Amino acid sequence: SLALNNVRRNASSVTPPYEKLIRNLDLIKNITSKEPLTLSEKILYSHLHNVEETLGSSTSLKNFRGEKYLKLSPDRVAMQDASAQMAMLQFITTKLKSTEVPASIHCDHLIVGKDGEDLDLKSSISTNKEVFNFLKDCSDKYGIQFWGPGSGIIHQIVLENFSAPGLMMLGTDSHTPNAGGLGAIAIGVGGADAVDALTGTPWELKAPKILGVKLTGQLKGWSSPKDVITHLAGILTVRGGTGYIVEYFGEGVESLSCTGMATICNMGAEIGATTSLFPYQPAHKKYLIATERSEVAQAADLALKRGFLRADDDCHYDKVIEINLSELEPSVNGPFTPDLSTPISKYSQTVKENNWPEKISAGLIGSCTNSSYQDMTRAAELVSQATAKGLKPKIPFFVTPGSEQIRATLERDGIVDIFEKAGATVLSNACGPCIGQWDRQDINKKSQETNSIFTSFNRNFRARNDGNRNTMNFLTSPELVTAMVYSGDASYNPLTDSLKTENGETFKFNPPTGEDLPSRGFLKGRNEFYPVKDPQPNEAVSINVSADSDRLQLLEPFDRWDGNELKTNVILKVEGKCTTDHISAAGAWLKYKGHLENIAYNTLIGAMNKETGEVNTVYDFDGSKHSIPDLMFKWKNEKIPWTVVAEHNYGEGSAREHAALQPRFLGGKIILVKSFARIHETNLKKQGMLPLTFADEADYDKISSKDVLETVGLPELVEKNGDNGGFLDIKVIKPSGESFVIKAKHTMSADQVNFFKYGSALNYIGELKRS
């Protein structure tokens, strides 16, 4: 069973516990007779809760990959405001007095982007007051560092303050791997996983395989770190990284800045990777010193000398992909999926072939992916080139700084001025348009007409940015977005084409130049955006959630399993892509993140019904037509348990645990699919659902809505408490009475079987704490 951890919290320390980690690593080296290890393995295994227990009688780690569950003790947890609500609501139910590892909360997702920083921040604070107060109270009570609205985007703040080579952290956001740019193993999880770490319960992860990406050559001209990952996404697709940690190596790494490496790791989420990371580099040291953490750099130097923070020679990668940076061409990825990668030289032709809009309607740069000093100075340099020739952006141009520190530094160095004088809108230091918080005025959201936008963000699912399903978001580097706003024309290639100036001259951009780090150092900016350095728990703080609130609702524990086979009806058979945005939409729904019942009204509203081709439409037993959540609420009230059947990579896209909580709350029992996205599958297990995959994919075609699915042998499976998954038979009973049995697979570890048995991971952890 899950033994509880005894991590002593030390909220102010940002140096990873290298002594302890190297001791663990030495132990592993002894047991495995110095087997060569990748960097990922070194960091991961040195964070094992109990090395000897995990290794057992094994004298090699080779067979662990993709097979064995690891119980890990992360060093730190970071949470953003949208997901922190549910993490905190769950933490409250544990009745603990403080978190056991240092943690931080960041208010970034709930800030709308519209009129620029001042106005947007004021109005967002007033709309979300109740939530921000709740998060602040939780932080004060449990000793969590609270970064308020306007302080910046979680991943940028983590990079500037907490990430460090060899650190292991969890974040309640899928782009948490951004911290891998500074050599950390940083994994995106749901709130329930974060609660594991916060309570000092070992956090479980199936040992990932390791994908090596060898970088050779050197970036030059227009090519940027963003192009490394958009190109890789094109090779690997949105599923190619599933089950892997992506570990970069090779001499090409040396030409990258620390923030550039963070951009690459950030978008590892788009290929489904568990996380991505870079080995400790001189660029890391420079960045640590620039962000006032020379003590971390010194400790890391020593750790490197002792064999930590780098891969061993002859280590084994499960797969290797090589990218020559010198030959890399900027690419444009999209629409609607981040892996549809088109080199800029082919973009114009591809637009024509696909009938995509010839006009670009807006350009947006910044976000957690691309708002570094390097990105912004390179973009601003392009703006300066155009301004010098009297050119102005032809379409709306938005700039989102990632943190107060970046914004203040850019302001001091005249970069903000360059953007604003050119007519760009500088938004608050928050997620804004990246997460549907873009109150867009220039396009009618209801119109069926498609429009294209260029962004330097990381996600481009439908309706992600402006809530409009017909907005095509093309992901690219900040440099290309910036050049593109001066044309607004999809056929323009800034690398080769010229623009006309007002006096009829031709103007061609020179390749952008910029600086990795500010030569005058970073400026902290406004004091009010900075939290207490070493927050202490304070039991006297009370947390009030009003029963009438429509934003927050205290949680009731889910029911335990009754010990019998599950007998469910198929409520919906989903066709094609079903991301967490389809299962629990963002945008306007973000405001209900802390209110499970209210947000449940968005459950699967983006899903396509395989049998009718309709979106958000299902039919009851009597043939009556319903929206998906309506029928789920109805069946919940009628006590009819249900199953959703779907295709590949179900739940891809984000760590959004609401996508698991909502179906569970609405009476769902089984999600049966061709394959799962890793985080979502774990989230389902944590909430006591039964996530299953078809042993034979062809069985998907044999199942229809209203079929009864009945497990065969579930009590035995739970009794056996089988480790690392296995098979479960499912009896399919058609409305005609005809029946047959299919085989399904589960990947539950022994602990996860207990999550199912007790009704949820939290119920189980609570049980352990009480016993």
x-marked contacts with ligand F3S along 517-536 as a string, rule CB under 6 A: --------------------
Alpha helices, DSSP H only, in 469-606?
478-485, 580-583, 596-599
Binding residues for ligand F3S restricted to 259-298, rule: CB under 6 A: none
> Quick one: CA dihedral 348, 349, 352, 355, positive or negative?
negative
- Examine the residue annotation and report whether 108 is marked as an active-site residue of this protein: yes
Nearest approach in angstroms of CB 303 to ligand F3S is 29
Which of 20-28, 373-381, 427-435, 761-769 is the region at the interface with ligand F3S (rule: CB under 6 A)?
427-435
Residue number with CB closer to ligand F3S (15 or 230)? 230
> Is the Cβ–Cβ distance between 768 and 2 less than 8 Å?
yes
Nearest approach in angstroms of CB 580 to ligand F3S is 13
Give me the phi and psi of 335, to 5 degrees please: -85, 165
x-marked contacts with ligand F3S along 336-375 as a string, rule CB under 6 A: -------------------------------xx-------
Cα(86)–Cα(587) distance, integer angstroms: 17
> Is the Cβ–Cβ distance between 564 and 715 less than 8 Å?
yes
**Which residue from 386, 424, 397 is spatially nearest to 505, judged by alpha carbons?**
386
x-marked contacts with ligand F3S along 458-497 as a string, rule CB under 6 A: xx--------------------------------------
* CA distance readout (Å), 197 to 98, 170, 596, 612: 12, 8, 22, 43
Cα(171)–Cα(432) distance, integer angstroms: 19
Strand order of the β-sheet with 168-171 is: 145-147, 103-106, 76-80, 168-171, 185-188
Residue 173 is a binding residue for ligand F3S (CB under 6 A): yes
Residue 581 is a binding residue for ligand F3S (CB under 6 A): no
Residue 684 is a binding residue for ligand F3S (CB under 6 A): no
**Which residue from 572, 652, 644 is spatially nearest to 612, judged by alpha carbons?**
572
Binding residues for ligand F3S restricted to 438-457, rule: CB under 6 A: 457
Residue number with CB closer to ligand F3S (188 or 629)? 188
Residue 154 is a binding residue for ligand F3S (CB under 6 A): yes
Size of the site for ligand F3S (CB under 6 A): 15
Residue 153 is a binding residue for ligand F3S (CB under 6 A): yes
Residue in 434, 475, 600, 644 binding ligand F3S, rule: CB under 6 A? 434
Nearest approach in angstroms of CB 283 to ligand F3S is 22
Q: Cβ contacts of residue 294 below 8 Å, gap of 6+?
A: 288
Other Cβ atoms within 10 Å of 348 Cβ, number: 17
- Examine the residue annotation and report whether 654 is marked as an active-site residue of this protein: yes
User: What 3 state SS string does 284-331 have?
Assistant: HHHHHHHCCCHHHHHHHHHHHHCCCCCCCCCCCCCEEEEEEHHHCCCE
Given the residues 407, 582, 656, 680, the one annotated as active site: 656
| Strand positions, DSSP E, 62-137 | 69-72, 76-80, 103-106
Which of 430-438, 547-555, 609-617, 751-759 is the region at the interface with ligand F3S (rule: CB under 6 A)?
430-438
- Examine the residue annotation and report whether 581 is marked as an active-site residue of this protein: no
Given the residues 75, 81, 108, 140, the one annotated as active site: 108
Residue 765 is a binding residue for ligand F3S (CB under 6 A): no
> What 3-state DSSP class applies to 451?
strand
Residue 124 is a binding residue for ligand F3S (CB under 6 A): no
Cα(214)–Cα(203) distance, integer angstroms: 30
Residue 399 is a binding residue for ligand F3S (CB under 6 A): no
Other Cβ atoms within 10 Å of 496 Cβ, number: 9
Nearest approach in angstroms of CB 434 to ligand F3S is 3
Given the residues 584, 654, 705, 760, the one annotated as active site: 654
- Examine the residue annotation and report whether 656 is marked as an active-site residue of this protein: yes
Residue 742 is a binding residue for ligand F3S (CB under 6 A): no
Residue 435 is a binding residue for ligand F3S (CB under 6 A): yes
> Is the Cβ–Cβ distance between 504 and 271 less than 8 Å?
no
Residue 55 is a binding residue for ligand F3S (CB under 6 A): no
Nearest approach in angstroms of CB 264 to ligand F3S is 14
Quick one: residue 507, left, alpha or beta (phi over 0 = left, psi -120 to 50 = alpha)? Answer: beta
What amino acid positions are annotated as catalytic residues?
Answer: 108-109, 173, 459, 654, 656
Q: Residues in the site for ligand F3S, rule: CB under 6 A?
A: 108-109, 153-155, 173, 175, 367-368, 431, 434-435, 457-459
